[in-house]
Structure 1
Amino acid sequence: MRALAYPTLVGDPHPGDTVLLNTTALDRGLGTGGYALVIAVLPPPDQHHTTPTTQPDTRPSAGHLVKARYTPHQTMVLGVDEQESPHHHLLRDADTLDNMPVIVADLHSALPAIIAGARHTAHEHGRPTPRITYVMTDGGALPAWFSRTISGLRDAGWLDACITVGQAFGGDLEAVTTHTGLLAAHLITHADITIVTQGPGNLGTGTRWGFSGTTTGETINATSTLNGHPIASLRISGADPRPRHHGISHHSLTAYTRVALRPADIPLPTLATTPTTFTTTDHDPHHLDTLIHHQATPLTTCPAHHTLIPLDATPALAAALEHTPVPLSTMGRGLTQDPAAFLAAALAGTHAATLLS
């Protein structure tokens, strides 16, 4: 079976080693979490009383910020916001993002599409490529190391930094809260645009409130409180067979109309402007446009009174999504199977890029 080991936590396994596995997600056939996870590298069977040949890194951390707290694999990291950090003086009294655009999204799979949209728009307008920082929250995977998307985007030069907040860990920088993660993105990584979403994996129970994406509304509040410019990316699908996720997902509608209490810009795509090759066989883009524009009405009448930003999903933007350095995939569907999902995310990046001076 496929198994995943994080050497920092369990040591470095080698062929022939005996390992203790957690197979809970694999046993249930989960998608994103469909791996066995190595809990420990064990000594050979005839040497049970000896010390394992490989050990996790137990050297004292420079910091005292514990993540994955009170679990067997809790790890200690240096947080940018704690006293031992060389950045503490920047964050001690920090209180503003100076209008930095912050894009929030429900799913980790939106990350490369958002960046593609921002880069495409900057280049189209003859502007420098924006510096982009990703703030990863703890609604999905906790280790940033699990994400091949982050690794691929970093290797391609599309992502400048990753900051892990809450219980998430493994980023270039660690922070206690989304608030200090955002401030670190602005003051330490000097991001032009920051993207906030959970790590790989998404918890949803088919109930109104039982999904990890409610944090997108909370991130809008945090961004606004810190004088940033919040941009809410819509989770849209033209191919999801579940009614609650067809058109604008109820995740976006619930989080943005009920959890978010501060206004955000919400790019609303016009999908009928894309090439016919980017339409699904089951859903006419004109019909999908009509549906999402109807579903979007509560976004402007809710307590936050968001601002809808109508944008065309152009053929050039669709073409840009065909050349991302990492594969585009959401809920098992790629770009040609569910183009609306990625075009909507890309337009959030497009809007953010237009706000840069």
Structure 2
Amino acid sequence: MISYAKGIVKSILSARKGVTEIEVEIGRENFKAINYDFLTGQVAVGDSVLLNTTAQDLKLGSGGYHFVVSVNCGEGFVAKNAPGHIMKLRYTPLQFAVLSAEEEDSPYHSIFNNFSGLGRKPVIIGELHSMVAPAVFGVKRNRPKLKVSYIMTDGGALPLSFSKTVKYLKENNLIDGTVTYGQAFGGDIESVNIYTALISAFEILHSDVAVVAMGPGITGTGTEYGFSGIEQGPIIDAVNNLGGLPIFIPRISFADKRKRHCGISHHSITVLNKVAMSSANIVVPKFSGNKFDCIQKQIDENTLNQKHKIIYVDELEKLTQDLLSFDFKLSTMGRGIDKDAEFFITAAAAGYYASSI
């Protein structure tokens, strides 16, 4: 099912590199929409736009936006010749080519043939995009001079430019570069897969720490294996295969009303128990009272400590202050740090641990 609608651009709400956020009128109602400038061209007030409205029609979480498919039926769009032949959005009407770091025309091509290993460099692995900022905060508050990169998978949003989190982190010099791989696009470095993305982060961007997580959004079905965050298993294995140190952020919450996500989410348990073939360092903050007892019970019942290494972090007050020291509104599933503190503290703890290695 694809839902389309025609609209008229009423105003430009904001603009950042590669993205224009607009207000459009459909019928007699106004809606927010996203235009990816390099895919569909520049947009201006008064333009007629064709919109993909599918996600909003289904009441799905896409940030509350429709997405521009065409501006004035493509009139005035100027094609730009650019290097590269690795296709993104393959076999769709919007497919386009990028220069990946690995391909022969890339100045970095030889790096991949000469690569020997990551040398136990830390790689923080998270399920949700909302883990990225607190993990980075945990690194930078502990050791500000470390170089941090963000590797965005294609498990959520595909355009990196959609992320306001990445915009904030880059503008405030908290991440030094970005890599996108698979069908995700828009990073400072484009790569074909997780292996070459990791090599790019450490050998091209010269990172001390990399954070790997999907872009905004996640697919879930309420089943054991039916969620896009299952990608964390192969990512753990890739880090180990390349000689890195995988640091896993467990998805921990006591605010989520769904029982399967209470304490350590069933997503994390499935990834660690049944999907990852190798070991990771799981960072667990020492929360007080019943909350820590609940987490410890889940660790014991699922024998996570037999396959993986559990890293306990007890600097909870410091981690909380670290999170609050940035002028950034933390949010996951519509909840801020005031309602879901354990979620954000866990991500920050992973960053803190990674920076201490």
Question: What TM-score comes out, normalization by structure 2 length?
Answer: 0.89
Question: Does the residue aligned with 1:191 lie in a helix, a strand or coil?
Answer: coil
Unmatched tracts of structure 1, length 5 or more: 44-50, 123-127, 273-285
Which of 92, 98, 107 does residue 113 from structure 2 map onto?
92
Q: Is the 8 A contact 1:138 1:167 kept in 2?
A: yes
For residues 279-309 of structure 1, give each alpha carbon's deviation from its aligned partner in whole angstroms, at most 9, with x where no partner exists: xxxxxxx21111111112225356xx10001
Deviation of 1:217 after TM superposition, in Å, equals 1.1
Find the aligned partners of 1:79 and 1:206 in 2 and give their Cα distance.
35
Deviations 1:112-132 (A, max 9, x none): 10011112222xxxxx52110
Residue 237 of structure 1 aligns with an amino acid whose one-letter code is S
In structure 2, the residue matched to 1:320 is 322
- Within a 5 Å distance, the mapping from 1:247-286 to structure 2 comes to 247-272=263-288, 286=289
For residues 270 and 309 of structure 1, do their structure 2 counterparts lie closer, same or farther at Cα, with a shift above 3 Å needed? Answer: same
Partner deviation per Cα, 1:221-263 (whole Å, 9 max, x = no partner): 0000000011111110010000011100011110111111111
1:288-342 C-alpha deviation (Å, 9 max, x unpaired): 111111112225356xx10001111421210111123432100110000100000
Structure 2 gap segments, 5+ residues each = 1-30
Aligned to 1:187: 203
Matched, 1:155 2:159: no
| 2:218 maps to amino acid | N
Equivalent of 1:197, from 213, 218, 232? Answer: 213
RMSD, aligned CA: 1.3
Q: TM-score, normalised by structure 1?
A: 0.89
The separation in 1 between residues aligned to 2:311 and 2:355, in whole angstroms, is 14
Whether the 8 Å CA contact 1:271–1:313 is kept in 2: the answer is no
Residue 254 of structure 2: aligned partner: 238
Greater shift in the superposed pair: 313-322 or 64-73 = 313-322
2:134 alignment partner AA = A
Q: Report the AA paired with residue 292 of structure 1.
A: I
Determine the C-alpha separation between the residues in 2 that align with 1:257 and 1:107: 19
State whether residues 249 and 347 of structure 2, in contact with CA within 8 Å, keep that contact through their aligned partners in structure 1.
yes
1:12-47 per-residue CA deviation (whole Å, 9 max, x = no partner) reads 01000000000011112223342100000015xxxx
Correspondence for 1:300: 304
In structure 1, what is the Cα distance between the partners aligned to 2:271 and 2:304?
Answer: 13
Q: Distance in 1 between matches of 2:343 and 2:159?
A: 25
Question: Once the two structures are aligned, what percentage of the paired residues are identical?
Answer: 41
Alignment of 1:9-24 (within 5 A): 9-24=39-54
CA distance in 2, matches of 1:64, 1:148: 28
**SS of match in other structure, 1:332:** coil
User: Secondary structure of the equivalent of 2:333?
Assistant: coil
Report the Cα distance in structure 2 between the residues aligned to 1:32 and 1:117, rounded to whole angstroms.
27
Check the 8 A contact 2:285/2:316 in 1, yes or no. no
The counterpart of 1:119, out of the listed 137, 140, 146, is: 140
The one-letter code of the counterpart of 2:96 is T
Aligned residues, how many?
326
Query: In 2, Cα distance between the equivalents of 1:319 and 1:68?
Result: 41
Aligned to 2:55: 25
Equivalent AA in structure 2 for residue 254 of structure 1: T
> What is the distance in 2 between the residues matched to 1:75 and 1:326?
33
